[in-house]
Amino acid sequence: MDEISTLCSRVGETKLRDMVTAFYRRVRVDDLIGTMYPPDDWENAEKRLADFIVYRFGGPQTYIEERGHPRLRGRHMPFSIGEAERDRWMKLMTEAMEEVKMPEADGPVIHSFFAQVADMMRNRPG
């Protein structure tokens, strides 16, 4: 098994969900990416991301059972995502990881995964 698929068992599902909650606290007030989220769907957006991260890091399959294949790029196509949006997403998620005190040994693995996914979400230059 790779380091990504065993993260949930090492870090714990609660810490992963707490990280997503800390992330969404930041997103709600962010002037760049916060406006991309439907204002009446914050709780569902947070649940979807938390379920995805838990699933992707080897935890329960709730995301797949409820939503099917992630199709992340397709789901994000309606939003204009360039380098600034990618970088802001990474900044807010890094702050959330620090807030929940992600274990030092696992932080770089998680950060690298997020960086790869965030870059893949870009759908416009710059």
How does pLDDT run across 76-113, given as a tens digit for each residue?
A: 777 889 999 999 999 999 999 999 999 999 999 999 99
The domain at 4-120 falls in which architecture? Orthogonal Bundle (1.10)
Q: pTM, whole model, 2 decimals? A: 0.91
Question: In degrees rounded to 5, what are phi and psi of residue 52?
Answer: -65, -50
Coil/strand/helix, residue 121: coil
For residue 104 the two structure tokens come to 């030092």
Q: Where are the domains of the chain?
A: 4-120
Any idea what the Cα angle at residue 83 is, between residues 108 and 113, rounded to 5°?
Answer: 25
- Count Cα neighbours of 23 within 13 Å in the Cβ-side half-sphere: 24
